[in-house]
Amino acid sequence: MKHLPNKGLSPIGGPLMPQGKQLLNNSLLNKGTAFPDEERDALGLRGLLPPKVFTLEEQCTRVLRNFRRFKEPLEKYIYLSNLQNRNETLFYRIIQDNAEEMIPIIYTPTVGQACLEYGVIYSSPRGVFLSIKDKGRIAEILRHWPMLDVRMIVVTDGERILGLGDLGAHGMGIPVGKLALYTACAGLHPYYTLPITIDVGTDNESLHADPFYIGLKQKRVRGREYDEFIEEFVQAVQEVYPRAMLQWEDFGNANAFHLLQRYRRKICSFNDDIQGTAAVALAGLIASLRETGGTLKEQKILFLGAGEAGTGIADLFTAAAMDEGLTEQEARSRCWFVDSQGLVVKGRPGKLAEHKVPYAHDFKQISSLLQAVEELRPTALIGVSGQARAFTQEIVTKMAAINERPVIFALSNPTSKAECTAEEAYTWTDGRAVFASGSPFPAVTLNGRTYLPGQGNNVYIFPGVGLGALVSESSEVTDGMFLTAARTLASLVGTEDLAVGRIYPALNKIREVSIRIAVAVAEEAYHDRLAQRTQPSDIEKDIRARVFEPVYHDYI
Ligand code: NAD
């Protein structure tokens, strides 16, 4: 049954309000044992629930107790997924109140494991699956989704899931997880969210052999047929959900760059792997200056990995350094890349991918990261290669010999792919590293000091940017908005964070961080005349009034 939002962002009943079992099966409206007596009588629930009426708080206590009983993170993930499919208010209450404990379960690193085993742990579908065989009827299929007013779509084709590679249709765990974070972190109402997986096949042979694989067992469709499918998809979204924005997620880098360029002004959209990562890393670099001293434009950054994340960060760094007075060429000359072929330089044999060209400097060919560190003497080393343990002791020690406070970001996800661990970074630099990682690491105690390293994860950026763009009904998400988001995030890092070695705010402040970013992004949308809504007199008040709070509403 379709249900309509009443006003603004809250979903509810009205004439189409489901009753009885249908109501219990509606995860957005279900309250489970918390339905009060009057509603049980009025809505045909009497007898379908045990007699005792519980409060939301009592339900939370019960859920937490069960959640903590599980030892394996994947078991916790499955438990929370089932809860989400049953009762979203309770699910989001738990996530929001226990963000630090829950986010690593519903998102990285556990979601990576969930995607690897998606076929086996599958129990009920969530979101929309569009396969290449649906060509010509995408709009019709999107209309099967029961919500009438979708505003935020996260879409993947599963080709580059985290640092785990091509997981095909098993990549659905990522849009589902990211949209849960939109709600938990920024308060976007779940009614407005739609996860989509585009299945054009997979080149991962092990999935072809997997009896539990949920997608098409064929090679990936590429080239013209792929592009036509995506074009039909974008047009169908605009037709069925004209107010929806799109987040492109975990596409392989050959498609990610050109899809972003082709569509970013045709439909309000952004690529989180390129632009979201850029903003979170830049925020980390800005915050690290409070430890290392100096200005952003003086930094020299060496990246391991020249893909979506790496060049996205370098592009945003360039914009920020130009704001500090450098020319574009000077700013780009502060960024260097080592990829799977060695240092990215002019004249390297073979054709360089377009996104690497601006960073191919005039320099000799170098094949190893260690030698690149020795020759270039960077102030910051950023790992976005998906290559586990690529920052060896020798490399990290060298960074510490060159810099009093070396900046070391091991951003590859999930944890198993991190370029080094927090413990290694601190131990090998005698505690001098300014460290951040993509997935969380436990606290490290060294020489009597305890470090709680920060998670340089996009979760600090995309929920706020998306909410700001969505509420202002911006026609696009500009690079300037990501720069603003990075600066806002960096400004929210407190001295108490720096004191424990953290260059990001604590995760339990994520709601406030996301709202502050949303306000800054919306202000920019109104200022740049991209907003399709009239500017409210108080932008912050307007946004705060719209955020979803996981509490039960009265139905009668
Ligand atoms: P990508 O596929 O676009 O790029 C990967 C890059 O790594 C390519 O340039 C490739 O040449 C390079 N590479 C591969 N093997 C290498 C090797 N042996 N030595 C040096 N370079 C090598 O992927 P991406 O989107 O840039 O993501 C890369 C990693 O960054 C992933 O693990 C991803 O999880 C992580 N990431 C983290 C965050 C975060 O929030 N922390 C955000 C986005 C991406």
Residue 171 pLDDT exceeds 70: yes
**Is residue 9 very low, low, confident or very high in pLDDT (cuts 50, 70, 90)?**
very low
Spatial distance between the Cα atoms of 269 and 292, rounded to a whole number of angstroms? 35
Q: How crowded is the C-beta side of 428, counted as CA atoms within 13 Å?
A: 22
CA of 181 to the centre of ligand 1 (A): 22
- Closest by Cα among 500, 286, 281, 508 to 412: 281
Gap between the Cα atoms of 405 and 63, Å rounded: 43
pLDDT in tens, 359-417: 999 999 999 999 999 999 999 999 999 999 999 999 999 999 999 999 999 999 888 99
Question: What pLDDT score does 3 carry?
Answer: 41
Classify the phi-psi angles of 149: left when phi > 0, otherwise alpha if psi is within -120 to 50, otherwise beta. beta
Q: What value does the mean pLDDT of the chain take?
A: 95
Q: Is 250 touching ligand 1 by the criterion CB < 6 Å?
A: no
Active site (annotated) includes residue 552: no
Task: Please report the pLDDT score of residue 1 as a whole number.
Answer: 33
The pLDDT, as a whole number, for residue 7 is 38
Question: What is the rounded average pLDDT of the residues 213-237?
Answer: 98
Q: CB under 8 Å to 396, separation ≥6 — which residues?
A: 381, 406, 408, 420, 424, 425, 428, 429, 433
Longest Cα–Cα distance of the chain, Å, equals: 79
In the chain, the domains with their CATH numbers are: 105-267 (3.40.50.10380), 275-456 (3.40.50.720), 460-546 (3.40.50.10380)
Count of C-beta atoms within a 10 Å radius of residue 280? 30
Question: In sequence order, which ranges of 43-87 are alpha helices (DSSP H)?
Answer: 56-69, 73-86
Say how many Å lie between the CA of residue 415 and the centre of ligand 1: 13
Q: What is the pLDDT of residues 432-475, one digit of tens each?
A: 999 999 988 999 999 999 999 989 999 999 999 999 999 999 99
For residue 105, pLDDT over 90 is answered with yes
Question: Does residue 308 have its Cβ closer than 6 Å to ligand 1?
Answer: yes
β-pair type (449-451, 444-446): antiparallel
Would you say 168 and 23 are in contact if contact means Cβ atoms under 8 Å apart? no
The verdict on the CB of residue 385 being under 6 Å from ligand 1 is yes
Structure tokens at 254: 């050959």
- Look-up: residue for tokens 């320099």? 363
**Which CA distances in Å does 89 have to 47, 59, 102, 223, 524?**
22, 11, 15, 42, 32
- Pocket flag, ligand 1, residue 108 (CB < 6 Å): no
Token code pair at residue 443: 């606290």
Predicted structure pTM score: 0.93
pLDDT given for residue 205 in this prediction: 97
Confidence check: pLDDT of 11 > 50? no
Q: Which atom in ligand 1 lies closest to the alpha carbon of residue 163?
A: 32
Burial of 361 (0-12, 13-18, 19+ CB in 10 A): middle
Sheet hosting strand 269-271, strand order edge to edge: 128-131, 193-199, 152-156, 245-248, 269-271
pLDDT at 46: 98
Distance 385 CA to ligand 1 centre (A): 3
Whether the per-residue pLDDT at 10 is higher than 70: the answer is: no
Tokens of 22: 């249908």
Whose alpha carbon is nearest atom 22 of ligand 1?
A: 340
CA angle 11, 12, 14 (to 5 degrees): 135
- Is 335 touching ligand 1 by the criterion CB < 6 Å? no
Per-residue pLDDT, 2: 39
User: What angle, rounded to 10 degrees, do the helices at 56-69 and 73-86 form?
Assistant: 150
The Å distance, Cα 126 to ligand 1 centre, comes to 28
For residue 407, which of 439, 387, 429, 427 has the smallest C-alpha distance? 429
The pLDDT assigned to 258 comes to: 93
Rounded CA gap, 17 and 48, in Å? 17
Strands 301-304 and 407-410: unpaired
Range with the lowest mean pLDDT among 323-327, 350-354, 539-543? 350-354
Q: What is the predicted pLDDT for the residue at 440? A: 87
pLDDT of residue 454: 84
pLDDT over threshold 90, residue 5: no
Q: Which of 178, 213, 451, 555 is catalytic?
A: 178
Tell me the sheet residues that pair with 131. Answer: 199
Residue 556, pLDDT score: 86
Please say if 356 is a catalytic residue.
no
Mean pLDDT of 497-506: 96
Of 532, 454, 528, 540, which Cα lies nearest the Cα of 490? 454
Confirm or reject: Cβ of 171 under 6 Å from ligand 1: no
Q: What pLDDT was estimated at residue 14?
A: 63
Is the N-terminal amide bond of 414 cis, ω within 30° of 0? yes
Q: Which two tokens stand for residue 302?
A: 């060496």
pLDDT tier at 163, thresholds 50, 70, 90 = confident
**Long-range contact set of residues 232-238: C-beta below 8 Å, sequence gap at least 24:** 232/135, 232/136, 232/138, 233/130, 233/138, 233/155, 233/198, 234/263, 234/266, 234/267, 235/139, 236/138, 236/139, 236/142, 237/142, 237/153, 237/267, 238/267
Average confidence (pLDDT) over 40-59: 98
**Beta-bridge mates of residue 200:** none
Regarding the beta carbon of 249 and ligand 1, being less than 6 Å apart is answered: no
Query: What pLDDT, on a 0 to 100 scale, did the predictor assign at position 12?
Result: 53
The whole-number pLDDT of residue 6 equals 40
What is residue 40's predicted lDDT score, i.e. its pLDDT?
97
Strand partners, 444: 451
Contacts of 382 (CB under 8 A, 6+ apart): 281, 301, 302, 303, 304, 310, 313, 409, 411
Contact 273, 312 (CB under 8 A): yes
Mapping DSSP to helix (H, G, I), strand (E, B) and coil, where does residue 345 land? strand
